[in-house]
Amino acid sequence: MAKKTRVVITGLGICSPIGNGEKQFTTSLKKGVSGVRYHEILKRQNYRCHVGALPALEQAEIQAFTGRYGLVKMKGTGIVYGCMAGVEAWFDAGLSLLDSKSNQAAWESGCIFGTCTNGIDAIDYGIGLVDTGNVRKMGGRTAQQAMNSGVSAYLGGIIGIGNQLSTNSSSCITGVESAMEGVNRIRQNKAKIVLVGSSESSHHNVWGGYDGMTLYDDFYALAKGYNDQPEKASCPMSVHANGLVPGGGGGAMVLESLESARKRGAKIYAEILDGSIISGAQRNGGTMTMNSRKSMEDVIEFALCKSQISAQDIDLISGHLPSYIMDVYEVEAWAKVLKRSGEDFPYINALKSMTGHCFAASSSMELVASALQLHHQFIHPSVNSAQLHPQIASIIARKKIPLKSLKKKINIVAKTAYGFGDVASCIVLKKWEGA
Amino acid sequence: MEERVVITGLGVVSPNGVGVEKFTKAIKNGQSGIKFHPELNKLSFRCQIGGVPAISENARQRFLKKHGIEEVFSTGITYGCIAASEAWRDSGLKIRSEKESPDYESGCIFGTGSNGIEATHYGIALRESGQDTRKGNPKALPQAINSAVSAFIAKIIGLGGQVTSNASACNTGTEAILMAFDKIKNKQAVRLLVGSSESNSPYVWGPFDSMFATAHGFNDQPKKASRPMDKDASGFVPSSGAGALVIESLSAAKKRGAKIYAEVLGGHINSGGQRGKGTMTIGNVNGMVRCIKNGLKSCQITPDQIDLISGHLSSTIGDITEINAWVRALKRKGEAFPYINSMKSMIGHCLSASGSIESVAAVLQLYNGFIHPSINADQLHPEIASLISHKRVPPTAILDVPLNIVCKISFGFGDVNSCLLLKKYID
């Protein structure tokens, strides 16, 4: 078998509820701050859950960004988050934007940037006009923001992408999937560099939809009883975890063949070994809104096998861990596949404890966090997990779920993401040691 | 050794025919699926015509019930599921019961641009109504997320491989086929159910109407409105539907004795970078030329081998750019230009669904040996006429023609391109 092309991460960008930009985000990660806030509009709309997490961006900051890159009449918050993260990652990798006067594109550079619902801001605007007979007032900038691929289309224009330019969607595994599609594209020798990532709008309509939704039986999806203590609401692995906290944001990574990165003398954050993406097909207990236990386990096993690592190699698990019963199922899946428990269990943390669940954006934000932890050799805390769910406490030693940031030597991080439609993913990252 | 990749199943939900049999007949006859829609008139749309697949309410409900997805109210998801299950059955594959394990060898890449529109509208209307938002339909939201169509298809059939939805505007359908090709060729999957679908909704069509992208002056003669390459082409006709294909490795297809419609040789996916004359909404011709050239090169096909081009050709100013790109890339012009036709002449522009519906049509032409007409190209646009002979744009079907290589191209907003090469399958 031919040797796989090695793929490395050379740029990171983030627009998250706990910080915009790699620097601020890293500081927040280490401190374990929460980005979850009370939102009056959610109360006014009579939703159950009034807490949510969105990037702290001043209107002036957004205008400065959209002005600089010619994003006219930009309504899509998710598109803005994605473009901010994408552009940051691109510059962080030491790459430059293609001259706007060029008549060629950057043919070797691609972009696969996912989302679930970025179009919602433009769609809401459009529906209002169509319903009142004012369709003609919509203007020429709505279609491209309403369409699902809006975020990649805007990023392509800013950067001058000349390779594949596309948007992937697979609910909450979208971020991991975009990274795997980028890895594939590079391994197939079809692109040298691929900007990957995902973003999600923070429109209250996105959150409102989840508010009225049940995940199983009559269990409503969002966190309950935390409207007066938003920072405690997202508490993955805790006995108090009772629903996810909706969020918005964007995460981005520049992926590149090792050869290309070396040739450019690029900084390397980490290497992506491999990963797996499967579906449980809503069988064996899986449904549209809950994963089958079997698919949760199998995807981990497949990812380890493809990455050619053993269970013992894993130092840290960056969990999906959305802050409800799924947390327990996930920990059980890991323990079963790895055959590790107690103090032998790898460290495990949930970024969602700080950022809430940013849906399609979540797993790319978590991959950015994973790359940063590998690069700076630390493990971020999983906040609000002081009182572990008893089933989790029976599997994992308390100290493996850090409540405070730890300085640790870590070599391998495995990241899982699960999503609606019973889709499952797992990807393995390795510390870059100049080898 | 790399795998050869073939197409073994087809499904289609098109404005001029639902199901492969009806669709084949319609495209042979040059039958238009475009109609006047009084609702668009009431809503003050400029363009009041469009393409909607004819599926009765009864048939819709029967289908959803049969497959245990009664909650689906998104038209795009419905079209996608109908086309996908037709393709799967057509390929001779079995739908796994709910008690069976998922099929890890088979995945799904089924794209869309705006299938979520009905569920999103539902949520917004609920909010605006002032009713208790807590009393909404708890099964509405999953249909608002972009990957819902692939998730429902996987549930119906039992697909356990990668299940995802791609999106690259009007390029989506053709892109999905090429992504599947790459995965099978590189042995990441044995078989993928691919395609794309688009909802039928004034909320999908509205933004295009407002940007003057749609046909004008044809509200009283809907069948004449979509006229790719014609001098009077005035904008595209918005439309909806779905196309689906089962793509698998030749070895897997042979092993199970499947019918093989055509071989996928490969192709190329790129973007013009919104540079040169390219913008968010108009393609950079350099990107298109490169896409065609690299597509051919990757399959070791020379320009003279192409028998038929299934164009993107949406009945806009973009038709001229496209013909320019073909002539530059192939160095063939006048009467030496390959046959070229536009599916959109009959069904309008199904947006994200267009690439897969048109690919289904391309495969049917290869397999059955005919070329469907490109209707309404009565008088070529002068710039197009200066490049290619009118004889290469068939006004009626050409029957009994041996086709060997068909090239399908799609473009989309964001300045994205896909070029797909299909070959008649010979054992």
CA separation, residue A248 to residues A55, A116, A142, A203, B239 (Å): 7, 11, 21, 8, 32
Q: Given a cut of 90, is residue B159 above it in pLDDT?
A: yes
- B274 contacts A160? CB cut-off 8 A: yes
Closest Cβ–Cβ partner in A148, A165, A423 for B112: A148
Residues B328 and B330: their CA atoms lie apart, in Å, by 6
Ramachandran class of B386: left when φ > 0, alpha when ψ lies in -120 to 50, beta otherwise: alpha
Query: Smallest CA–CA separation between A346 and chain B, in Å?
Result: 27
Measured CA to CA in angstroms, residue A369 lies from B79, B201, B270 at distances of: 39, 40, 30
pLDDT in tens, A281-296: 999 999 999 999 999 9
Distance CA B18, CA A111 (A): 35
Are A239 and A308 part of one and the same domain?
no
Structural domain of A59: 7-264
What gap in Å lies between CA B329 and CA B171, rounded to an integer? 19
Instruction: Let me know if residue A317 belongs to a domain.
Output: yes
Q: Which has the higher per-residue pLDDT, A111 or B127?
A: A111
Looking at the structure of chain A, the number of domains it has is 2
DSSP state of A351: T
Is A156–B416 a contact, with Cβ atoms under 8 angstroms apart?
Answer: yes
Contact B13, B53 (CB under 8 A): yes
Mean pLDDT, residues A365-386? 98
pLDDT of residue A66: 97
Residue B59 pLDDT exceeds 60? yes
Residues A367 and A394 in one domain: yes
Q: Indicate the helix (H) or strand (E) that contains A352.
A: helix A352-355
Which chain A residues have a beta carbon less than 8 Å from that of B121? 123, 127
Give the per-residue pLDDT at B126: 86
Phi then psi for A397, rounded to 5 degrees? -65, 140
Which DSSP category does A311 fall into? G
**Which residues of chain B from 356 to 395 reach within 8 Å of chain A, CB to CB?**
none
A244 and A351 belong to one structural domain: no
How does pLDDT run across B391-406, given as a tens digit for each residue? 999 999 999 999 999 9
CATH of the domain at A199: 3.40.47.10
Q: How far apart are CA B153 and CA B78, in angstroms?
A: 10
C-alpha–C-alpha distance, residues A235 and A17, integer Å? 16
Chain B, nearest residue to A287 by Cα:
B155
Distance between CA B49 and CA B284 in Å, rounded? 29
Q: Is the pLDDT at A308 greater than 70, yes or no? A: yes
Distances (CA, A) of B93 to A161, B197, B247: 39, 22, 12
- ipTM of the predicted assembly exceeds 0.90: yes
CA distance A317 to chain B (A): 22
B173, closest residue in chain A (CA to CA): A166
Given A105, A117, A120, which is nearest B272 (Cβ)? A105
Residue A414 lies in a domain: yes
Quote the percentage of chain B above a pLDDT of 90. Answer: 94
Give the DSSP H or E segment for A297.
Answer: helix A293-307
End position of a domain, from candidates A213, A241, A264: A264
Task: Indicate the pLDDT class of residue A419, thresholds 50, 70 and 90.
Answer: very high
Both A255 and A301 in a single domain?
Answer: no
CA distance A174 to B147: 9
- pLDDT band for position A2 (50/70/90)? low
Containing A10, the helix (H) or strand (E) segment is strand A7-16
Tokens of B420: 């797909």
Lowest mean pLDDT among A200-214, A243-257, B58-72: A200-214
> Is residue A347 located within the same domain as residue A401?
yes
Q: Model confidence over A40-89: pLDDT tens digits? A: 999 988 889 999 999 999 999 999 999 999 999 999 999 999 999 999 99
Q: b vs e for B357-390, b when ≥16 Cβ sit within 10 Å of the residue's Cβ?
A: bbbbbbbbbbbeebbbbbbbbeebbeebeebbee
Q: For residues A148, A154, A160 and A165, what is the CA-based torsion angle, rounded to 10 degrees?
A: -10
- The three-state secondary structure class of A110 is strand
Using the CB atoms, write b or e for B188-214: b if 16+ within 10 Å: bbbbbbbbbbbbbbbbbbbbbbbbebb
Domain edge (last residue) among A246, A264, A282: A264
Same domain, A355 and A260: no
Question: Which of B90, B86, B14 is closest to B52 using CA atoms?
Answer: B14
- Burial environment of residue B305 by CB neighbours within 10 A (0 to 12, 13 to 18, 19 or more): middle
pTM for the full predicted model: 0.97
Q: A24 to chain B, minimum CA–CA distance in Å?
A: 30
- For residues A114-121, give the mean pLDDT: 92
For an interface test with B, the pick among A136, A164, A210, A296 (most B C-beta atoms closer than 10 Å) comes out as A164
**Residue B321: pLDDT over 60:** yes
pLDDT digits (tens, 9 = 90+) for B175-223: 999 999 999 999 999 999 999 999 999 999 999 999 999 999 999 999 9
How many Å apart are CA A181 and CA A3, to the nearest integer?
A: 18
Phi then psi for residue B280, to 5 deg, are -55, -35
* Residues A128-157 pLDDT 10s: 999 999 999 999 999 999 999 999 999 999
- Could you tell me if residue A368 is inside a domain? yes
Enter the DSSP assignment of A396. B
- Evaluate whether residue A340 is within a structural domain: yes
A49, A75, A135: best mutation site toward chain B, by most B Cβ within 10 Å? A135
Which DSSP state fits A247?
B
Tell me the C-alpha distance between A343 and A337, whole Å: 16
Q: In this structure, are A257 and A280 located in the same domain?
A: no
> Does any CB of chain A come closer than 8 Å to the CB of residue B1?
no
Q: What is the pLDDT of residue A201?
A: 94
Q: Which residues of A touch B134 (CB under 8 A)?
A: 46-48, 211-212
Looking at the domain assignment, is residue A2 inside a domain? no
Cβ–Cβ below 8 Å for A156 and B134: no
For residue A232, name the pLDDT band (cuts at 50, 70, 90). Answer: very high
Query: What proportion of chain A, given as a percentage, has pLDDT over 70?
Result: 99
Tokens of B324: 């320019």
State residue A146's pLDDT score. 94
Identify the pLDDT of residue A9: 98
Place of tokens 């079963």: A336
Whether residue A18 is predicted with pLDDT greater than 60 in this model: the reply is yes
Residue A87 counted as domain residue: yes
Domain boundary among A241, A264, A287: A264
Q: Does B317 touch chain A (CB under 8 A)?
A: no
Q: What is the pLDDT of residues B82-109, one digit of tens each?
A: 999 999 999 999 999 999 999 999 999 9
Shared domain for A315 and A291, answered yes or no, is: yes
Neighbours of B56 (CB within 10 A): 9
Asked whether residue A167 is assigned to any structural domain, the reply reads: yes
Residue A356: which pLDDT band, with cuts at 50, 70 and 90? very high
Distance CA A107, CA A239 (A): 51
pLDDT score for A435:
64
* Whether residue A417 is found in the same domain as residue A326: yes
Partner A, chain B 133-192, Cβ-Cβ below 8 Å: 133-142, 144-148, 150-152, 154-155, 157-169, 172, 175, 179, 182-183, 186, 188
Residue A209's pLDDT is what?
83
State the residue for tokens 């001043």: A58
Asked whether residue A226 falls in the same domain as residue A365, the answer is no
What pLDDT sits at residue A106? Answer: 97
Q: Is B210 on the interface with A (CB under 8 A)?
A: yes
- Examine the domain organization and report whether A129 and A233 are in the same domain: yes
Strand, helix or coil for residue A64: helix
Contact B120 A100 (CB under 8 A): no
**Is-contact A268 A261, C-beta < 8 A?**
yes
Residue of A nearest to B43 (CA): A133
- Kindly list the residues from chain B whose CB atom is less than 8 angstroms away from the CB atom of residue A43: none
- A283 and A212, same structural domain? no
User: Chain B residue closest to A283 (CA)?
Assistant: B98
Average pLDDT taken over every residue of chain A: 96
Cβ-based burial of B63 (10 A; exposed 0-12, middle 13-18, buried ≥19): middle
In order of their start, the domains of chain B are 5-255 (3.40.47.10), 267-423 (3.40.47.10)
pLDDT digits (tens, 9 = 90+) for B2-42: 899 999 999 999 999 999 999 999 999 999 999 999 999 99
pLDDT score recorded for residue B137:
86
Compute the average pLDDT of residues A9-24.
Answer: 98
Other residues' Cβ atoms within 10 Å of the Cβ of residue B3:
17
pLDDT at B392: 98
Q: Is B35 on the interface with A (CB under 8 A)?
A: no
Mean pLDDT, rounded, of chain B: 96
3-class secondary structure for chain B? CCCCEEEEEEEEEECCEECHHHHHHHHHHCCCCEEECHHHHHCCCCCCEEECCCCCHHHHHHHHHHCCCCCCCCHHHHHHHHHHHHHHHHCCCCCCCCCCCCECCEEEEEEECCCCHHHHHHHHHHHHHCCCHHHCCCCCHHHCCCCHHHHHHHHHHCECCCEEEEEECECHHHHHHHHHHHHHHCCCCCEEEEEEEECCCHHHHHHHHHCCCECCCCCCCHHHCCCCCECCCCCECEECEEEEEEEEEHHHHHHCCCCCCEEEEEEEEEECCCCCCCCCCCCCHHHHHHHHHHHHHHCCCCHHHCCEEECCCCCCCHHHHHHHHHHHHHCCCECCCCEEECCHHHHCECHHHHHHHHHHHHHHHHHHCCECCCCCCCCECHHHHCCECHHHCCCCCECCCCCCEEEEEEEECCCEEEEEEEECCCC
Q: How far is B370 from chain A (nearest CA, A)?
A: 32
Q: Flag whether pLDDT at A1 surpasses 90.
A: no
Domain presence at residue A1: no
* pLDDT of A398 over the 90 cut: yes
Asked if residues B355 and B173 have their Cβ atoms less than 8 Å apart, the reply is yes
